[in-house]
Structure 1
Amino acid sequence: MQVLEFAVEGEHVELNQLLKLVGVVDSGGAGKALVASGEVAVDGRTELRKTCKIRPGQVVTLGDLRIRVVAAG
């Protein structure tokens, strides 16, 4: 399993934007489509809300990719 760490500036990042920022998809729209497909999980639960707010401490999983979100700084 590949593990990435993403440092979020501020309180949160939207799920579709997170997928774009880490390079999983090329655009926010592609991120929305990926979330809508049911392939993305947040903290072990399937997440279908495309603009779900992801905060430090949460883990986003997509296939064999795990994205750990941490606070910047």
Structure 2
Amino acid sequence: MEIFKLKEDEEYIELNNLLKALNWVASGGEAKAIIKEGSVIVNGEVETRVRKKMRCGDTVKLQNDEAKVE
């Protein structure tokens, strides 16, 4: 499992931006499309909100990739 560390001044990162930061997608458009089609799992449940606020302790999964926000 990968660890994504928020910057000290950040309270959260939006899901679409997290997928880009993890290099799981090539573009924002790709991130939006795979989230909307229900391919992304957040904290064990399908998440379709593109701008879902990901906070410390949240986990995200896309196919065989998994990461935790810290």
TM-score, normalised by the number of residues in structure 2: 0.92
Give, in whole Å, the separation in 1 of the partners of 2:29 and 2:52: 14
Give, in whole Å, the separation in 2 of the partners of 1:30 and 1:53: 18
Give, in whole Å, the separation in 2 of the partners of 1:8 and 1:29: 23
Alpha carbon RMSD of aligned pairs, Å? 0.8
Give, in whole Å, the separation in 1 of the partners of 2:28 and 2:46: 19
The equivalent residue for 2:4 is 6
The equivalent residue for 2:57 is 57
Question: Any unmatched runs of 5+ in structure 2?
Answer: none
Runs of 4 or more above 4 Å deviation? none
Give, in whole Å, the separation in 2 of the partners of 1:28 and 1:67: 18
Give, in whole Å, the separation in 2 of the partners of 1:20 and 1:11: 18
Deviation at 1:48, TM superposition (A): 0.3
For residue 67 of structure 1, give the secondary structure of its aligned residue in structure 2.
strand
Give, in whole Å, the separation in 2 of the partners of 1:27 and 1:17: 9
TM-score, normalised by the number of residues in structure 1: 0.88
Give 1 or 2: higher strand fraction.
Answer: 1
- Number of aligned residue pairs: 68
